[in-house]
């Protein structure tokens, strides 16, 4: 008989397997996708498997799965592991609440609301602010766009689109903006991509020129997305200057801080989102910079009435009561909703706001170690800028795409590549705050050793011929 206690014992054993594996082999052995079903027994069959067999197959799967928490994973805009957040998430799984009503979520409602309240304060929002935990940053951006649409064209909720609405974002912003314009009935062709400067930041006067051009054609600008931490370069759009424009033309301003909005926790780095308090909505992913398990995303709104207007089915008829503040289903996209708050709250409670600040500061510190190394070594070319935890570079004449793939196939380190304008380069993300300066320098040693031992690596000049 399988009981929870027995299975949790098995869990402990498997955790040992995983942690040992992470220490011994920080980069998992890659299984070619074509070989996957021949390499691991992933089959589902008529008959059950007995305990030992289950344990064996689960440990095979654990060992073969890419390891995102180790000191050699730099591939994504998440990485590492905050143990207290893991603890909170495991408890959330056991509790298995749904966040829609106070009746079934109880104190978890207060946990979620406390995070939202403190986050709104850090952004600089006032008493009418609130928020919710969507499924991720893409959904946070989507909810912002829908609220902006409904604010500009209130009838839209009932009769569908009646006005030619136009949305704006920078060329370097996240691809979810285009999808969201399609989902929200705006249309992908009504998304304007504003040019960025050499650092990858939106150019405000280009935004204003585009807005004027659209107005003169009879279109209605309704939504500007400013990015706090672009996906490739980690650039911050100038929110204050953009807010001057959105206020002039009465346009909703959303700050997509999925990647780096968490700088609100740092006295040293919050200047990067200066002006955020003037926005209508602000999102950030705690599963990126703050290291909670996926997913943990917040959308905050300066005035909570917009959340109710757009996401509560009967908001126009039902006046807000105290009860509504505890029945979170009134402001969420989903019906049944996972508890993404407890992991973040457990982390925040245990290390305090000052501990979260240290996480952010450490990431920039590690980026500075990498920047400094690259600037002092002439074999490297730098493509990114200060105040970013995405450090973009090329090494010697090596083709970045070939190098990233080879590093991963040979279990050296996991890192990705990106492009800006005409350049393609390695994007090294220092988001794992558990890493030390030595781990960063070790990455460069691993890379350099690999390149010198792998003469077959194609060079960039050879590729472009």
Complex with ligand PLP: residue 307 or 429, whichever CB lies closer: 429
The reply on whether position 176 binds ligand PLP by CB under 6 A is yes
The count of residues interacting with ligand PLP (CB under 6 A) is 16
The reply on whether position 201 binds ligand PLP by CB under 6 A is no
The token pair at 145 is: 């766009």
d(CA 110, CA 326): 8
For the CB of residue 427, give the shortest distance to ligand PLP in the complex, in Å.
12
Helices and strands, counts by H and E, the chain:
17, 12
Complex with ligand PLP: residue 281 or 295, whichever CB lies closer: 295
The reply on whether position 402 binds ligand PLP by CB under 6 A is no
Q: Which of 258, 367, 414, 429 binds ligand PLP (CB under 6 A)?
A: 258
| CA atoms within a 13 Å half-sphere pointing along the CA-CB vector of 169 | 25
Q: How many residues are listed for the chain in this entry?
A: 465
Q: Which of 174, 192, 254, 343 binds ligand PLP (CB under 6 A)?
A: 174
- Say if residue 155 is exposed, middle or buried (CB neighbours under 10 Å; 0-12, 13-18, 19+): exposed
Of 105-113, 147-155, 238-246, 255-263: span binding ligand PLP (CB under 6 A)? 255-263
Complex with ligand PLP: residue 168 or 444, whichever CB lies closer: 168
Q: Name the residue number minimizing CB distance to ligand PLP.
A: 137
Q: Which of 22, 208, 241, 256 binds ligand PLP (CB under 6 A)?
A: 256
The reply on whether position 234 binds ligand PLP by CB under 6 A is no
Complex with ligand PLP: residue 228 or 347, whichever CB lies closer: 228
The reply on whether position 237 binds ligand PLP by CB under 6 A is no
Of 7-15, 207-215, 251-259, 364-372: span binding ligand PLP (CB under 6 A)? 251-259
d(CA 122, CA 354): 13
Q: Which H or E run contains 427? A: strand 423-429
- 196: phi then psi, degrees, rounded to nearest 5: -110, 160
Q: Which of 108, 231, 302, 312 binds ligand PLP (CB under 6 A)?
A: 231
Complex with ligand PLP: residue 177 or 398, whichever CB lies closer: 177
The reply on whether position 196 binds ligand PLP by CB under 6 A is no
Complex with ligand PLP: residue 136 or 204, whichever CB lies closer: 136
Site string for ligand PLP, 58-87 (x = CB under 6 A): -------------------x----------
d(CA 171, CA 361): 28
Buried b (16+ CB within 10 A) or exposed e, 23-62: eeebbbeeeeeeeeeeeeeeeeeeeeeeeeeeeeebbeeb
For the CB of residue 339, give the shortest distance to ligand PLP in the complex, in Å.
17
d(CA 412, CA 184): 43
| CA atoms within a 13 Å half-sphere pointing along the CA-CB vector of 74 | 32
| CA atoms within a 13 Å half-sphere pointing along the CA-CB vector of 302 | 16
The reply on whether position 339 binds ligand PLP by CB under 6 A is no
Site string for ligand PLP, 434-453 (x = CB under 6 A): --------------------
Complex with ligand PLP: residue 138 or 312, whichever CB lies closer: 138
For the CB of residue 262, give the shortest distance to ligand PLP in the complex, in Å.
11
Q: Which of 295, 363, 398, 432 binds ligand PLP (CB under 6 A)?
A: 295
CA distance to 359, 385, 398, per residue, from 430 (Å):
11, 14, 22
The token pair at 249 is: 């033309």
DSSP letter (8 states) at residue 413: -
Residues 122-141 that bind ligand PLP (CB under 6 A): 136-138, 141
Q: Is there a cis peptide before residue 295, judged by omega within 30 degrees of 0?
A: yes
| 43 touches 84 (CB < 8 A) | no
* Residues found near ligand PLP in the complex (CB under 6 A): 77, 136-138, 141, 174, 176, 227, 229, 231, 256, 258-259, 285, 295, 297
């Amino acid at each position: 008989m399988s009981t929870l206690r027995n299975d949790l014992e098995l869990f402990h054993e498997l955790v040992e397997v995983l942690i040992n594996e992470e220490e011994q082999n920080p980069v998992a052995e890659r299984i070619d996708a074509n070989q996957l079903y021949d390499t691991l027994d992933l089959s589902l069959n008529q008959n059950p498997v007995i305990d030992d067999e289950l344990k064996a197959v689960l440990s095979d799967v654990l060992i073969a799965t890419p390891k995102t928490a180790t000191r050699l994973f730099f591939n994504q805009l998440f990485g590492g592991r905050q143990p207290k957040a893991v603890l909170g998430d495991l408890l959330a799984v056991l509790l298995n609440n749904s966040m829609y009503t106070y009746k079934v979520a109880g104190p978890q409602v207060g946990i979620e609301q406390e995070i939202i309240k403190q986050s709104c304060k850090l952004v600089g929002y006032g008493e009418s602010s609130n928020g919710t935990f969507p499924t991720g940053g893409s959904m946070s951006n989507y909810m912002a766009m829908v609220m902006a649409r409904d604010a500009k064209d209130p009838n839209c909720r009932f009769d569908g689109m009646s006005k030619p609405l136009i949305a704006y974002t920078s060329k370097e912003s996240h691809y979810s903006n285009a999808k969201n314009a399609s989902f929200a009935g705006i249309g992908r062709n009504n998304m304007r991509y504003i040019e960025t400067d050499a650092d990858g930041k939106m150019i405000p006067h280009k935004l204003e020129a585009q807005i004027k051009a659209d107005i003169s054609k009879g279109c209605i600008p309704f939504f500007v997305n400013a990015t706090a931490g672009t996906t490739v370069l980690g650039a911050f759009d100038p929110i204050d200057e953009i807010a001057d424009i959105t206020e002039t033309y009465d346009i909703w301003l959303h700050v997509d801080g999925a990647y780096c909005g968490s700088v609100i926790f740092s006295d040293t780095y919050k200047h990067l989102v200066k002006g955020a308090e003037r926005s209508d909505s602000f999102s950030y992913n705690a599963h990126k910079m703050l290291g909670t398990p996926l997913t943990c995303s917040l959308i905050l709104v300066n005035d909570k009435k917009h959340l109710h207007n757009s996401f509560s089915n009967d908001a126009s008829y039902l006046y807000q009561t105290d009860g509504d503040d505890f029945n979170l289903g009134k402001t969420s996209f989903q019906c049944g909703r996972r508890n993404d708050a407890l992991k973040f709250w457990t982390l925040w409670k245990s290390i305090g706001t000052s501990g979260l600040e240290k996480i952010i500061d450490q990431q920039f510190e590690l980026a500075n170690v990498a920047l400094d190394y690259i600037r002092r070594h002439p074999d490297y070319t730098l493509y990114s800028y200060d105040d970013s935890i995405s450090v973009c570079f090329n090494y010697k004449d090596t083709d970045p795409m070939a190098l990233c793939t080879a590093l991963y196939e040979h279990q050296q380190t996991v890192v990705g590549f990106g492009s800006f304008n005409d350049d393609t380069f390695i994007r090294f993300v220092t988001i794992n705050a558990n890493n030390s300066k030595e781990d960063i320098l070790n990455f460069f040693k691993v890379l350099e050793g690999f390149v010198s031992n792998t003469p077959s690596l194609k060079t960039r000049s050879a590729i472009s011929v």
